[in-house]
Amino acid sequence: MLELKHISYRVSTPDGEQDILKDISITIPDEKLVVFTGPNGGGKTTMAKVIMGLAEPTSGQILYNGQDITHLSITERARLGISYGFQQPPRFKGITVHDLLLLAAGKETLTKDQCCQYLTRVGLCANDYLEREVDVSLSGGEVKRIEIATILARQGSLMIFDEPEAGIDLWSFARLTETFEQIHRQHRATMIIISHQERIIRLADEIVVISGGQIAHRGNTEEIFPLILADTLGGCPVLEHKEVQL
């Protein structure tokens, strides 16, 4: 179980202090699939980074399976089974896809068949990719899919995916959503997926709408979808009282 208690995250900007996360408390039970969604800049990625240890909260506490992990390093959290797939994954010159899968799986060897199983889940063929370097020669969508494959290879207990749909073609996306469904059905891990994609949102046990650094809404698909659909007009205080000529 993951528990965030009164988490705040404040940064200094040229315009002064800015509260990116404001007193967020949430409990995510084991084996649930929870989707964080909401408007751009709402604080979703920051939440994920705080959970993974990439950003230290200004105040509050994070518990994982009862253990206080607030001040643990990324490596220590990874050892506890927490893994995070970046919105924009890094590239590793000189490291092949096979090396990365091996590192992620924490094993001395992986057969081609095993690598193939992870890569197929994200729509990649081991024959084409295993010996390729994870460098600038790969497209954004390829790097993204390789990173997701490494998270699958890690087999952690809490997997956080940051916009897994970004840059991924429809065919690979369909396979990926099936993979999320399968992990969920087989109770293999807790998943937090940051997403704007209806198909992923519909997989969730719970949808958490994060806006303005706070949890704006929480609920299941039936409760949250109408709210998302009704809130498509947005709002801009500058334009509020003016007719815009386009």
Q: Is residue 20 within 8 Å of residue 50, measured between CB atoms? A: no
Stretch that binds ligand ATP, among 22-30, 37-45, 72-80, 95-103 (CB under 6 A): 37-45
Q: How far apart are CA 203 and CA 193, in angstroms?
A: 10
- 13 is a contact residue toward ligand ATP (CB under 6 A): yes
Binding segment for ligand ATP among 13-21, 78-86, 91-99, 122-130 (CB under 6 A)? Answer: 13-21
Q: How far is the CB of 194 from ligand ATP (least distance, A)?
A: 7
Angle at 151 between CA 28 and CA 149, to 5 degrees: 135
Burial class (CB in 10 A: 0-12, 13-18, 19+), 8: middle
- In angstroms, what is the minimal distance from the CB of 192 to ligand ATP? 12
Binding mask 42-81 for ligand ATP (x = CB under 6 A): xxxxx-----------------------------------
CB of 53 to ligand ATP, least distance (A): 15
User: What's the rounded Cα separation, in Å, for the pair 182 and 62?
Assistant: 28
Phi-psi region of 16 (alpha: psi -120 to 50; beta: other; left: phi over 0): left
Q: Which stretch binds ligand ATP (CB under 6 A): 36-44, 93-101, 120-128, 181-189?
A: 36-44
The verdict on 11 binding ligand ATP (CB under 6 A) reads yes
The answer to whether the beta carbons of residues 177 and 148 sit under 8 Å apart is: no
Q: Of 13 and 186, which has the nearer Cβ to ligand ATP?
A: 13
Strand ranges of the sheet holding 158-162, from the earlier edge strand across to the other edge: 82-85, 158-162, 190-194, 33-37, 206-211, 214-219
Region of 40-48, 59-67, 73-81, 88-96 interacting with ligand ATP (CB under 6 A) = 40-48
Residue 20 near ligand ATP by CB under 6 A: yes
145 SS3 class: helix
Binding footprint of ligand ATP on the chain (CB under 6 A): 11, 13, 18, 20, 40-46, 87
